[in-house]
């Protein structure tokens, strides 16, 4: 007769085997069959199918933290994405700027962070760093990717003040506008550490990134109801969005000017902001058409119209809305995000605006 103690241990072992088996099946299902829209898009058609699926999984696993404002959780490493110990995408950096180095921080949302870029080196900040160092300026140019999915002018300027300035940047480049124009947040809040701690004390699937079974159960059976409650219909009141966006950057530039930090404020490209003559089937399908989307485009137009006033404080501004007009190949995989080819074009256009700033800074 088997003792109760041994029976208990056997049941525990069987339970572990069942849990591990289910987790293995879930991970296999998620990797092989779970919906990955990128595999259907024109801009990824020439890439390995399973690598594109891996990109989807990497972004699904990507974790965020929120004391204060939403930021990338530091020290995350996946096949296509690496987040360093400071919460920036890409390699590790030192707090103290190295000698003979010009340090640039790229700030923005997911289009700067490089959502669905094939690697850390295929984001526009990484391309920009490569292009700067091809110029043989006699100094190392560092471009640090501080993009954060969903970031907009409120969180971007907070992130600069609270985190980026301590790294002694020479130039801050903001490639943005889209997230402001897409969704108006009436009273943005800075969450305290205690508030965030209280939120995380309960069971939340995002707290357990290495155990996928609860996440999959939630996604299959409860996600639609959660989205209806957590994400109300978007609003984007034109005048409020425009004034908030403009005033936040002007206020930020006043502060950075006193610290000797240059700024380059850019209105980014999006489907419909320019006149891209040849559209792929995916771009046609994603093209803005709803009342919300059309107002979104009008807001971006108005942002570009405010750049002259902003430049009185921020010195350096640029309108990149039409940079893809003469590009015939597919660029966008949705209304805002670009694949690697688009990211490199963005970097080329930013280089034209930023290179004179960097040269002047080096000579001073």
Q: Is residue 321 part of a domain?
A: yes
Identify which of 270, 278, 266 has the alpha carbon closest to the alpha carbon of residue 298. Answer: 270
Instruction: Give the model confidence (pLDDT) of 20-40 as tens digits.
Output: 888 777 777 766 666 788 989
Q: Is residue 338 part of a domain?
A: yes
Q: Is residue 11 part of a domain?
A: no
- Assigned token pair, 173: 């480049």
Q: Is residue 18 part of a domain?
A: no
Count the Cβ atoms, other than its own, within 10 Å of residue 43. 22
Q: What are phi and psi of 254, to 5 degrees?
A: -60, -40
The confidence score (pLDDT) of residue 261 equals 98
Q: Where are the beta strands (DSSP E) in 86-197?
A: 101-108, 140-145, 171-176
- Assigned token pair, 69: 């404002």
Q: Report the number of distinct structural domains present in the chain.
A: 1
The confidence score (pLDDT) of residue 236 equals 87
The confidence score (pLDDT) of residue 143 equals 99
Low-confidence spans in the chain with pLDDT less than 50: 195-207, 228
Q: Is residue 47 part of a domain?
A: no
How far is the C-alpha of 245 from the C-alpha of 303, rounded, in Å?
8
The confidence score (pLDDT) of residue 198 equals 41
**pTM (whole model) above 0.75:** yes
The confidence score (pLDDT) of residue 208 equals 52
Q: Is residue 93 part of a domain?
A: yes
Identify which of 326, 327, 315, 324 has the alpha carbon closest to the alpha carbon of residue 354. Answer: 315
DSSP alpha helix (H) spans, the chain: 4-32, 49-61, 110-113, 124-134, 153-159, 178-182, 193-201, 213-221, 223-230, 238-258, 281-286, 291-305, 307-314, 340-363
Q: Which domain holds residue 157?
A: 78-184+235-363
Instruction: Give the model confidence (pLDDT) of 246-291 as tens digits.
Output: 999 999 999 999 999 999 999 999 999 999 999 999 999 999 999 9
Q: Is residue 202 part of a domain?
A: no
Q: Is residue 301 part of a domain?
A: yes
Coil vs helix vs strand at 82? strand
- Assigned token pair, 155: 């969180």
**CATH code (residue 92):** 3.40.50.1110
Count the Cβ atoms, other than its own, within 10 Å of residue 133. 14
The confidence score (pLDDT) of residue 160 equals 98
Coil vs helix vs strand at 64? strand
């Amino acid at each position: 007769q088997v003792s109760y103690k041994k029976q208990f241990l056997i049941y525990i072992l069987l339970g572990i085997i069942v849990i591990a088996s289910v987790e293995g099946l879930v991970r296999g299902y998620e990797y092989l069959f779970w919906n990955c829209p990128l595999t259907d898009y024109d801009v990824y058609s020439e890439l390995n199918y399973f690598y594109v699926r891996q990109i989807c999984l990497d972004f699904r696993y990507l974790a965020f933290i929120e004391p204060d404002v939403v930021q990338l959780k530091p020290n995350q490493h996946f096949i296509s994405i690496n987040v360093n110990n400071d919460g920036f995408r890409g390699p590790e950096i030192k707090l103290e700027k190295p000698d003979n180095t010009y340090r640039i921080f790229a700030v923005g949302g997911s289009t700067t962070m490089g959502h669905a870029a094939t690697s850390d080196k295929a984001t526009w900040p990484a391309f920009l760093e490569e292009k700067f160092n091809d110029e043989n300026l006699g100094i190392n140019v560092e471009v640090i990717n501080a993009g954060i999915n969903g970031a907009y002018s409120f969180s971007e300027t907070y992130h600069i003040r609270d985190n980026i300035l301590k790294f002694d940047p020479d130039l801050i480049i903001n490639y943005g506008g889209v997230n402001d124009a897409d969704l108006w947040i009436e009273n943005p809040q800075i969450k305290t550490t205690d508030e965030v701690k209280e939120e995380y004390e309960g069971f939340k699937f995002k707290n357990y990134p290495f155990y996928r079974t609860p996440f999959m159960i939630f996604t299959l059976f409860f996600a639609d109801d959660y989205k209806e409650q957590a994400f109300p219909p978007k609003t984007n009141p034109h005048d409020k969005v425009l004034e908030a966006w403009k005033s936040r950057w002007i206020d930020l530039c006043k502060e950075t000017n006193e610290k000797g930090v240059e700024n380059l404020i850019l209105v980014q490209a999006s489907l419909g902001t320019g006149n891209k003559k040849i559209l792929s089937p995916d771009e046609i399908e994603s093209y803005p058409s709803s009342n919300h989307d059309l107002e979104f485009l009008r807001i971006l137009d108005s942002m570009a119209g405010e750049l002259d006033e902003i430049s009185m404080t921020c010195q350096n501004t640029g309108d990149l809305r039409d940079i893809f007009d003469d590009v015939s190949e597919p660029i966008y995989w949705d209304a805002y995000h670009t694949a690697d080819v688009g990211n490199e074009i963005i970097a080329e256009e930013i280089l034209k605006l930023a290179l004179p700033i960097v040269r002047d800074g080096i000579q001073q």
